[in-house]
């Protein structure tokens, strides 16, 4: 049987790809040599007797899932459901009255509760009805506080590995009833078996895994990792996963998350090290995840260069000229044209990965990211806008390039706007502030264009559900800039004596992750 080489499309972080979008993606990646697509759906698929499950989230109907399955299997590929049967169900739990009885804590299901397994049974039933494959990914990753909420109230403190393993055995028995062969993300099992706080701890005592290696016979493990370019890290963790004596798959990453812009270069670097370790150590299959954390702002279509590269190196081809030619033949777009978009997050040096999102939402009066803004940001993004405009061989992806040109146009002004405002205010430079006010007007105009282009790009391949969040974020940003502009005008005209936010110093301190809108926009309660 052909070894799995696949991709996982995140359909749970607002951007639910349309049926036609999934078909289009399958057409492209099949030509690259991929044979598998996973649809990551936390609550975005229809299940019986649960009208709130995925409601207003763009969930796939059963008919949509069946249509995609027919099309993809017709291409000679496999479509695999990738669901969650333990954690990552925060959106489901928003329907409190419906699902509070199956909640342990946070986004985690209540292990041992009969209603939990009734719900999981409906999940399996729906997937069995819609998918022809016998493979199913049942999740179970990042359930960091499993057994510490309602479960602990009912059962007291118990070994958390035993808790999660008992749940796994129960769910795997249910999967067998539906003729499914389940796989799980292995991080919680490695973490709890080795008694470490880290997801995959290559320095940990892997011999502890042997003491805990009583996993169900019908389970496969998926070792996921997309943060390193260190071959040894991947090799050691593959070895650790193999200690469970179950089939092991590897999941790398094509970085659609952490930024509105793609990170093809970094994706290729991490995948090279990972796939080489997979080849040496031996795994049962490999796939690349394309997560959509914090809004699904970057389209999987913009990570196709990384997918092309990964498919080729999996077959031993490292000839970049050949890879780029094949990419153009398949997509009608120049490989290097999309690679230009990596520059959105290269204004300053690593490890700040999500610069462009931070600069977009950084407040103009209370800029918690002002310390990141270097001199020359206006010139940098102006040149990037021109570079993007100059790219003509972009095939069917012109709508994305228009979107990113608009983004660069916004960042040309917006990146330094707050810092320039604060400096002029501190210098009591009224003339300078009056000049800066015109930039407030201009950035609002550019944001309106950006929103329009983003909307067009989103609706090209995604369902409309989820774009409400972008309306709220960008609409709020524009209104905030308008509000601050009005106060600047009042100050310059002497109507108010001060602007308290601008009286405070800028602090060179990191306030947390940059990939979340809420971490970029304000330190106040949202």
Q: Render each residue's pLDDT in the chain as its tens digit; 526 residues.
A: 689 999 999 999 999 999 999 999 999 999 999 999 999 999 999 999 999 999 999 999 999 999 999 999 999 999 999 999 999 999 999 999 999 999 999 999 999 999 999 999 999 999 999 999 999 999 999 999 999 999 999 999 999 999 999 999 999 999 999 999 999 999 988 888 777 766 676 565 666 776 777 899 999 999 999 999 999 999 999 999 999 999 999 999 999 998 999 999 999 999 999 999 999 999 999 999 999 999 999 999 999 999 999 999 999 999 999 999 999 999 999 999 999 999 999 999 866 678 999 999 999 999 999 999 999 999 999 999 999 999 999 999 999 999 999 999 999 999 999 999 999 999 999 999 999 999 999 999 999 999 999 999 999 999 999 999 999 999 999 999 999 999 999 999 999 999 999 999 998 876 666 678 998 899 999 9
Predicted local distance difference test score (pLDDT) of residue 188:
86
Q: Taking the alpha carbons of 318, 321, 322, 324 in that order, is the dihedral positive or negative?
A: positive
What CA–CA distance (Å, rounded) separates 341 from 40?
Answer: 25
What CA–CA distance (Å, rounded) separates 61 from 79?
Answer: 15
Q: Which helix (H) or strand (E) holds 279?
A: helix 264-281
DSSP state of 102: G
What CA–CA distance (Å, rounded) separates 148 from 477?
Answer: 38
Predicted local distance difference test score (pLDDT) of residue 106:
97
Partners of 259 in the β-ladder: none
- If you search the block for the tokens 């077959």, which residue do you land on? 315
What CA–CA distance (Å, rounded) separates 425 from 440?
Answer: 15
Predicted local distance difference test score (pLDDT) of residue 202:
57
**Both structure tokens of 362:** 């950084």
User: pTM score, two decimals?
Assistant: 0.97
**Both structure tokens of 402:** 């228009």
> CA separation (Å) from 235 to 45, 270, 276, 312, 478?
35, 13, 9, 20, 48
> CA separation (Å) from 72 to 25, 99, 182?
10, 33, 20
- If you search the block for the tokens 């389940």, which residue do you land on? 182
Q: What are phi and psi of 517, to 5 degrees?
A: -55, -45
Geometric angle at alpha carbon 314, from 311 and 317, rounded to 5°: 85
CB of 171 within 8 A of CB of 181? no
Q: What domains appear along the chain, each with residue ranges and CATH number?
A: 4-331 (3.20.20.80), 339-521 (1.20.120.670)
Q: What is the dihedral of CA 189, 195, 197, 202, to 10 degrees?
A: -80
- If you search the block for the tokens 């196709």, which residue do you land on? 304
What CA–CA distance (Å, rounded) separates 18 from 484?
Answer: 39
Helix axis angle for 160-177 and 114-130, nearest 10°, is 40
CB of 215 within 8 A of CB of 162? no
Instruction: Please provide the size of the chain in residues.
Output: 526
């Amino acid at each position: 049987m052909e070894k799995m080489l696949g991709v996982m499309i995140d359909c749970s972080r607002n951007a639910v790809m349309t049926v036609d979008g999934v078909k289009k993606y399958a057409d492209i990646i099949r030509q690259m040599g991929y044979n598998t697509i996973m649809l990551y759906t936390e609550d975005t698929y229809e299940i019986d007797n649960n009208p709130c499950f995925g409601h207003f989230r763009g969930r796939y109907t059963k008919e949509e899932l069946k249509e995609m399955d027919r099309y993809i299997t017709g291409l000679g590929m496999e479509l695999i459901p990738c669901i969650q049967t333990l954690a990552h169900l925060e959106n489901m739990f928003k329907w409190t009255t419906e699902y509070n009885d199956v909640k342990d804590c946070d986004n985690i299901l209540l292990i041992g509760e009969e209603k939990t397994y009734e719900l999981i049974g409906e999940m399996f039933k729906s997937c069995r009805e819609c998918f022809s494959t016998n493979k199913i990914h049942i999740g179970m990753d990042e359930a960091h506080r499993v057994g510490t909420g309602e479960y602990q109230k009912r059962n007291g403190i118990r070994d958390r590995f035993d808790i999660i393993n008992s749940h796994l055995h129960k769910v795997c028995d249910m999967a067998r009833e539906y003729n499914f062969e389940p796989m799980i993300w292995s991080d919680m099992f490695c973490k709890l078996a080795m008694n470490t706080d880290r997801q995959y701890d290559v320095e940990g005592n892997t011999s502890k895994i042997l003491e805990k290696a009583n996993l169900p016979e019908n389970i496969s493990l998926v070792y996921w990792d997309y943060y390193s370019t260190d071959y040894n890290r991947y090799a050691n963790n593959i070895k650790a996963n193999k200690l469970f004596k179950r089939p092991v798959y590897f999941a790398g990453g094509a970085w659609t998350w952490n930024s509105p812009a793609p990170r093809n270069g970094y994706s290729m670097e991490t995948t090279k090290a990972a796939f080489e370790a997979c080849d040496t150590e031996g795994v049962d299959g490999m796939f690349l995840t394309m997560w959509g954390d914090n809004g699904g702002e970057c389209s999987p279509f913009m990570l196709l260069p990384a997918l092309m590269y990964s498919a080729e190196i999996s077959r031993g081809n490292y000839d970049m000229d050949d890879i780029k030619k094949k990419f153009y033949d398949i997509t009608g777009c120049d490989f290097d044209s999309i690679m230009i978009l990596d520059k959105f997050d290269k204004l300053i040096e690593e490890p700040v990965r999500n610069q462009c999102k931070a600069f977009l939402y950084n407040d103009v009066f209370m800029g918690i990211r002002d310390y990141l803004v270097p001199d020359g940001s206006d010139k940098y993004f102006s040149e990037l806008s021109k570079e993007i405009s100059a790219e003509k061989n972009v095939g069917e992806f012109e709508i994305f390039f228009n979107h990113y040109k608009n983004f660069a146009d916004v960042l040309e002004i917006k990146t330094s706007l707050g810092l320039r405002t604060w400096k002029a205010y501190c210098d009591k430079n009224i003339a300078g502030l009056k000049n800066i006010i015109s930039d407030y007007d201009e950035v609002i105009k550019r944001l309106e264009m950006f929103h329009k282009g983003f909307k067009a790009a989103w609706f090209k391949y995604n369902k409309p559900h989820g774009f409400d969040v972008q309306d709220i974020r960008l609409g709020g940003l524009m209104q905030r800039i308008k509000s601050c502009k009005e106060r600047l005008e009042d100050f310059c005209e002497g109507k108010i004596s001060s602007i308290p936010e601008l009286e405070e110093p800028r602090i060179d301190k990191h306030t947390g992750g940059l990939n979340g809108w809420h971490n970029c926009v304000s330190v106040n309660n949202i």
